[in-house]
Structure formats: structure tokens, C-alpha cells
Structure 1
């Protein structure tokens, strides 16, 4: 049997020493304390593409609200004398290669030919209505429908997904079977059938998009709540006497806000495209109501003769969808803790 001898330390104060304040200062955290949302905002600021997308969204939203006020023409002011005029912008009309001098593809100055002295920045349509006013009026309506549909999808999806995941068991089983039935029916068929039953308009289009639009949000929320509901902070809150509704809305949902915000951000461009598609095929808003879809539909009919009628509204739709996707990608990266440096 091996023997181990105890080593006796010599008595005295030489085993202890006073700590130097400089050593303590070296151990202090160099990085300042910031919250999760502050760190996410700082990382979003470093994403140039997302900031560009946010700037474009703000600019388009500003023009959608105040753009029609920049001239004296109403959205339904008609004058056959000024029909199908190409774009003409002050000052920029002296730069021929921009194509904003009021000439058509053959170099004919249409404004002089029709003896029109006014300026129409986006031109006019076949009824002589100002496209600048109608474009931003249509953008306002399209954004309104998209934000309304996205807000309703957000509320329904968050409530449905959180309740299904939190209670689990038979409740979750029944609620998920309902979602599977709705997913099994093609979304476009449901939307078209509902619009055919109801009168085409803003309310019917919004309801048609909401019927199945909340399913994606509900699945995201369900997955997040399933991941969070068995963690320690939830058990601690339950031990302190928190009720179910408080646990869901004060603890679980706030910790799942990142994926919820990202999903809602991608829902908006999808809703804008759906509205434009329905209006383009004639099942959405009906003339003379202006929306991005109806403007594209009107311009498509005479695309070869007057392409400017369709180009402007199509570019606005493209800018909106690209900008929201860039911003959504930036938010996804900013709110992901795994990418924190």
C-alpha cells in the first residue's frame, strides 16, 4: 500500500497578500452592457442592404401619403385631349437621354403636338388622368391592404400558435389537424372562390388573404413556444403563481418576438403581390379604383404603344417587394443570437 505524507505549510502571513487595484481593473468587462434589442439594432445598422431597403420603404410610404398632393390633378380628373401623354418633368426635360422630355419613341414631342402646356411627371393614361397621382394613390391602397392583412394574420397566427403549443395534448392535436386541412386546399382557389362570392373590394380581398395567410405565422409561433415553454424561467414564473395567460403574453411571446417580426415582414410583400395579381386578372379592385394591380392591368392592354403606362407601376411593385425582402433578411440576421460577435 502506497503511503502519502501530508505536507505542512509553514505558518505566517506570506501565504496571503493584498490584491492590487490594477489587477482588478484588468478583469473588468471592456465591452459596455447592452440589451438584446440594442445589439440587434446596432447589427442592423451595419447591414447596408437592409438600410437601403428601409430607406426605399420610407420614401415610397411618404409618397403614397403625400405624393397626390404635389400637383393639382385629382385621381379621377379626365381630359381626352391629354390622353396617353409620355412623362415630362421640369428641368429634366432638357436632358434628352432620360426620356422625360415629353417625346414618344419616334422623337415626336407629344405635348406640343396636342398643345398641352402642363407637366405630367409619369405621363397620363388613355383617359387623360395623371399617372403620378394615380400611382401613389394606388400604392397607398395596396400598402393599406397589405398592412391590414399582415396585422390580422399576426394577431390570429400568434393567438392560434401560442395556445396550440402551450396547452399541447388533445388541444394541440385538434388545432393542428385544422391547419393541415386548410393547407391541403390550394390557397389561390380559396381566395378566388371567396372573391367570387363577395363583391370585389378592399374588404373581400383582405378577408380572402387572411383565411389562410395566418397559417405560416401560427406554425412559427407554435415552434417557438414549444421550445420555450419547458425552460427554467417559465417554471419559475409558474412557481410564483403566474396564470396561463400571463405566461403566454408576458414570458413566451416576448421571447419569440424575433421570428414573429421577421415572419410579419415577409408577409407584407406577399400580400402586395397577391393584391396586384388579383387586380391584374380582374378579380381584385375594379376601375376606377386605383391600385398597383389595376394600373398594371390598364397598362398591359396597350403595352406596345404606350409602355410608360405599365413600367411605372411595375417598378413600384418591384421596389416594394425587393425592399421588404432586404429588410427582412437584415432583421433575420440582426435578431439571430448565433450571429452575435
Structure 2
């Protein structure tokens, strides 16, 4: 923990959130009663801890029509990457934690995920629809280096010929290039890398424990050269802070070998609004009003819009400028010219004589 020279406030370097907002499901709230009080221990303890729990299921059906996936699988809950805007923060409250610092330093590790994944795939009537890893939190976050759950899931997907989609912002995915290459040969996987800025100073503040943009471009390039279909999510764009980078990002990812690209405009639902506002005030006080009001202009005067179809892209003049700029530079860089469809016809439960199709 450091003292911010500009504001005099304490700043947790290497963390995105700077406090623990109240969990809306909790009956009691804990606050710091005195500056020098003994209850300061929770704020100064910044070590990441792992929590192991048993799950009833691991694959979730996605009912939202505007997220681009039918099923998601998340081997970890909480994420040490610490992205200030992350929509998954709110889900941490269901586990009894805060969406703030707790989300980044109390990571739920689902060690039974491989067993549950096999159980799910062997359900009667499973149609081998594409399952997306990291529908909520990043499956290649730092914990994966130690627990290797994502790698086990990919091995199972290859064994069962189950099509898989992946989205990540961590170069650890290169460790599993051997399995991903085999999946790609069978048209069973596609990978999206998340890049919302090429500005390293912004990345360090907004996504403190993620891989650099330079490393993410390397991931796109190396996986693309290995024959793995690559896409990029420019998400979320923060108007007034990172949206001006659209042309540079799309040119860079196209040069690296990406074939498709998508984007979202930042939305600050639930506890994320307070977390992001606090972060923005502390890191960009001179631009706070401009950025905050531009976010509001994209969501009808609020910082969040829950309407399907509008919540991801926003509406209004600024949202339209972002949309038009993104579409133009996708065309100029020959992105989204080809539509990819993974193959579900090869699915087969090991030990059975024939494919289900």
C-alpha cells in the first residue's frame, strides 16, 4: 500500500479496486472506525488467497441474447487481473464476498471442474453446442499457472471432440498451444484475445495484473501462425479515455493475424459503478468529469443500461460515433470478412462406438 502524492489517500498498487464495497446480500457492513484502529488489518492484507469449494455443475446455459455465447464454463470465480470495470465482480457477492478487493484477492478454485465437465458432456441428448471458457472470469488468470484446470478442460474437449471458444487477456494461453493446435485442426476451437488499449500506463492502472498489450498481440500472432482462428474483443471501450485508440488497435490486431473483432462500451452495473468511479477519481482527476459524463451519455444519462441490445454498445451520439468508427476500421483492416462456425458433428463420448451425429 502506497500513499498517493496528489490526493494523500492510500493506494493499493497492483490492485484495480481500492476498497471493498458492501455486499448487497450481507446483513452487516464492516467499516473502518478509526484511522489507526485494529480493524485496518483487512485493508493492508493484500495477499491473494485461494478457496476450494465443491460445485454442483460447471457448464452454465447463457440466456442473454447479446453476449455471443450459448454456454459458458468458468474454472475460477474472482480474478486476480483486477480489471476495474469487470462485470464479473458482482457475481462475487453470491459467494459471500465483496465485489471490490475481495474479487481480486479471494479466488474460488473449482478443482472438480474437469470431473463435472465430463459428466456434463455425457448427458443424454447433449448436442455439442460450443462452450465458451471465460464467459465470466478469465480461465488463464494467474491461478491457472498453479492449478492447470483450464489445460485439463482442453484435454477433455479434445478427447470428446467438443467445440470450445476461449476469451482471455493472458499470454499463459501460449502454454497450451499444443492442445489448441490439435483442436483447431478439427475445427473445434476459436480464441479471442481482449485488447482495449495499447497505452501501457493506462493498462497498468485499469488492468493492473494483466499481460501487456504487446504480449497480447504476440498471442494473436503466434496462435494465428499455428492455424488457430483468432479474434479480438476491443472491450470495454471507455469513452473519453480509450475510445480514440480504435483505429490503432484494429490495425495492430489485423497485422498480427486476427480475422475478426468485436467491441463493447463500458457499463457500470451494480457495485462496479462505485469501484470504477473511485478508481477514475484517483487516477484521472483532471478527466473525471469528461469521462464520467461521456459514459452516462452512452446509457441514457446513467452509467449502466440493462436493456438487451443496448447495454453492450450503448446509444446516443457518442455511442454512434464509436460504432461507426469501429465499423469503418474493421472494413479498412479486412476484419469480420469471414464468419467462423465450429464443427459439432465430431462429438463422441469416449468408449462409444459411433459419433452422436
Shorter-chain TM-score: which interval? under 0.3
Bigger RCO (CA 8 Å, 6+ sep): 1
1 or 2, which has the higher helix percentage? 1
Q: Whose radius of gyration is greater, 1 or 2?
A: 1
Give TM-score, length-normalised by structure 2. 0.21
Give TM-score, length-normalised by structure 1. 0.22
1 or 2, which has the higher strand percentage? 2
